[in-house]
């Protein structure tokens, strides 16, 4: 019973810590330094793709690194703090921390729960949890982006295929696949407007400015 209670406390700490890390709005912080309110630009999204629409590639890069890094940090800290724990407990805590960081990015308490769409954080958590899964997702994103030059389509393809491909290649533990599936579902929900525009052929290409 004590062991089970300890595990629950570990999982609760992973969820809370992951959420707080994930809720750091790097897109808002980066653009604010340049006197820009990213929520008044383009789609109003706080992610790197919308930051790129300001014409500032440096700010977009800062946002991408921050959003990717916070997902990786949440997973990495859980792994480091539980390095000598049972592997099942460690992997579950890492998956929970990554999923919570993703939720924190989508629904940050500091921005009245209005956050980004989570693609960079999705990639960061996967690379930290199971780097082969991160490579698969990143490769799918890049291949689609270079082919079609549409960020949302790249994200949707990566989210949809990373778990099936990882399963076929036997890479990634089951807790990490569950984490990836959870994030993939939310990515599709958050991209519902993008999906409608894709079906109409109206989705803007990467780097193209979009009216608010």
**pLDDT tens for residues 128-144?**
999 999 999 999 999 99
- For the chain, the structural domain boundaries read 2-200
In this predicted model, which residue has the larger pLDDT, 146 or 207?
146
In this predicted model, which residue has the larger pLDDT, 5 or 67?
67
Neighbours of 139 (CB within 10 A): 13
Q: Could you give the C-alpha distances from 166 to 46, 51, 128, 159, 209, in angstroms and in order?
A: 29, 31, 15, 12, 35
Supply the pTM of this predicted model.
0.93
Token readout for 99 is: 């999923």
Does 115 score more than 70 pLDDT?
A: yes
Q: Choose the weakest-confidence range: 20-24, 45-49, 163-167, 182-186.
A: 45-49
Token readout for 82 is: 């539980």
Q: Could you give the C-alpha distances from 78 to 5, 24, 74, 132, 178, in angstroms and in order?
A: 18, 18, 6, 19, 17
Q: Which residue has the tokens 């569950």?
A: 178
pLDDT category of residue 209 using cuts at 50, 70 and 90:
low
Assign 3-class secondary structure to 100-120: HHHHHHHCCHHHCCCCCCCHH
HSE-up of 175 (CA within 13 Å, CB side)? Answer: 18
Mean of pLDDT over the chain: 93
Instruction: Give 192-201 pLDDT, tens digit per residue.
Output: 999 999 999 9
Q: What is the pLDDT of residue 210?
A: 52
pLDDT category of residue 44 using cuts at 50, 70 and 90:
confident
Distance between CA atoms of 36 and 29, rounded to whole angstroms? 10
Does 206 score more than 60 pLDDT?
A: yes
The average pLDDT across 100-120 equals: 96
Q: What is the pLDDT of residue 2?
A: 43
- Residue 41 gets which letter from DSSP? S
Q: Could you give the C-alpha distances from 7 to 90, 163, 182, in angstroms and in order?
A: 10, 26, 21
Q: Could you give the C-alpha distances from 103 to 106, 166, 185, 200, in angstroms and in order?
A: 5, 23, 12, 29
Does 70 score more than 90 pLDDT?
A: yes
C-alpha dihedral sign at 29, 31, 28, 68: negative
Q: Which residue has the tokens 């919570």?
A: 100
């Amino acid at each position: 019973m004590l062991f089970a209670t300890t595990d629950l406390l570990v999982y609760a700490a992973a969820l809370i810590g992951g959420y707080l890390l994930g809720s750091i709005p790097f897109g808002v912080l980066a653009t604010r330094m340049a006197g820009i309110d990213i929520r008044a630009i383009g789609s109003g999204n706080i992610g790197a793709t919308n930051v790129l629409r300001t014409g500032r590639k440096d700010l977009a890069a800062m946002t991408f690194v921050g959003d990717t890094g916070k997902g990786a940090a949440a997973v990495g800290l859980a792994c480091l703090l539980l390095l000598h724990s049972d592997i099942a407990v460690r992997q579950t805590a890492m998956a929970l921390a990554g999923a919570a960081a993703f939720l924190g990015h989508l629904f940050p308490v500091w921005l009245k729960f209005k956050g980004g769409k989570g693609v960079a954080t999705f990639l960061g958590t996967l690379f930290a949890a199971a780097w082969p899964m991160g490579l698969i997702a990143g490769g799918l994103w890049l291949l689609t982006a270079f082919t079609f030059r549409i960020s949302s389509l790249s994200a949707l393809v990566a989210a949809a295929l990373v778990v099936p491909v990882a399963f076929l290649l036997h890479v990634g533990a089951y807790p990490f696949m569950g984490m990836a599936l959870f994030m993939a579902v939310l990515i599709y929900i958050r991209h519902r407007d993008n999906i409608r525009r894709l079906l109409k052929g109206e989705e803007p290409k990467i780097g193209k400015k979009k009216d608010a």
